[in-house]
């Protein structure tokens, strides 16, 4: 039973990685005659797409990256619940982790992709909408107040772990009994990946050199 579930978790991780390889920013950039890997920050995610291509293109990139994580996570979390029961929760987290890994480290782009913010939002919404709403409020307050999207993203998505810890303490967590430690560790890995992806932003913030967000129209 245990080895069987480990195999299922690995399969979910691999499925997620495959979905994460769909690089929306690269596709939209090529359609616009631009290679986002060589423009702006060199990132293929939403923020750089907005800076380089404008708000409309940035929104399209966000939606593409959001859906490539949201759809498989929703299918696992709700569509397979009748088969796997509470195991769908860690399965969903594994899938979300896989998508973020595929988005950040696509093998065909020399493992240089986006920073996983849209994917992490999608994963959070599929797993626990209450947590996601709180994270979005935190992001909005910080990003709007400081104009630093990176700061808002790092703090809001790192807060997922803290929020779920509080939810566990008060009894409203989606983590199933008996698998809470596993779920918590997997979510901590996702939060750690988001922080890692923003390490250069964090360094610039510490030096006071981070660019504030201004999108082209």
Domain residue extents for the chain? 2-207
pLDDT score at 150: 87
pLDDT score at 214: 55
Per-residue pLDDT tens, the chain, 217 aa: give them.
Answer: 667 789 999 999 999 999 999 999 999 999 988 888 888 777 888 878 888 888 899 899 999 999 999 999 999 999 999 999 999 999 999 999 999 999 999 998 888 888 999 999 999 999 999 999 999 999 999 989 988 888 999 999 999 999 999 999 999 999 998 899 999 999 999 999 999 999 998 999 999 888 776 544 4
pLDDT score at 50: 86
Cα distance between residue 201 and residue 51, in whole Å: 16
Cα distance between residue 171 and residue 165, in whole Å: 10
Cα distance between residue 69 and residue 16, in whole Å: 7
What is the rounded average pLDDT for all residues in the chain?
A: 91
């Amino acid at each position: 039973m245990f080895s069987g579930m480990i195999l299922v978790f690995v399969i979910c991780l691999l499925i997620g990685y495959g979905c994460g390889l769909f690089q929306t920013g690269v596709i939209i950039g090529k359609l616009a005659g631009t290679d986002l890997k060589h423009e702006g920050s060199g990132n293929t995610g939403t923020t750089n797409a907005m800076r380089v291509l404008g708000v409309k293109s940035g929104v399209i990139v966000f939606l593409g990256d959001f859906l490539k994580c949201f759809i498989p996570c929703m299918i696992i979390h709700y569509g397979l619940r009748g088969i796997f029961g509470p195991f769908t929760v860690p399965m969903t987290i594994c899938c979300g982790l896989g998508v973020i890994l595929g988005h950040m480290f696509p093998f065909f782009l020399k493992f240089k992709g986006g920073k996983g913010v849209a994917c992490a939002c999608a994963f959070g919404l599929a797993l626990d909408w209450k947590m996601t709403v709180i994270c979005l409020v935190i992001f909005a307050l910080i990003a709007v107040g400081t104009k630093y999207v990176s700061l808002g993203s790092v703090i809001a998505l790192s807060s997922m772990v803290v929020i779920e810890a509080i939810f566990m303490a008060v009894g409203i967590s989606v983590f199933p009994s008996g698998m809470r430690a596993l779920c918590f560790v997997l979510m901590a890995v996702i939060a750690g990946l988001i922080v890692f992806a923003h390490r250069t932003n964090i360094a610039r913030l510490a030096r006071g050199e981070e660019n504030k967000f201004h999108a082209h129209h």
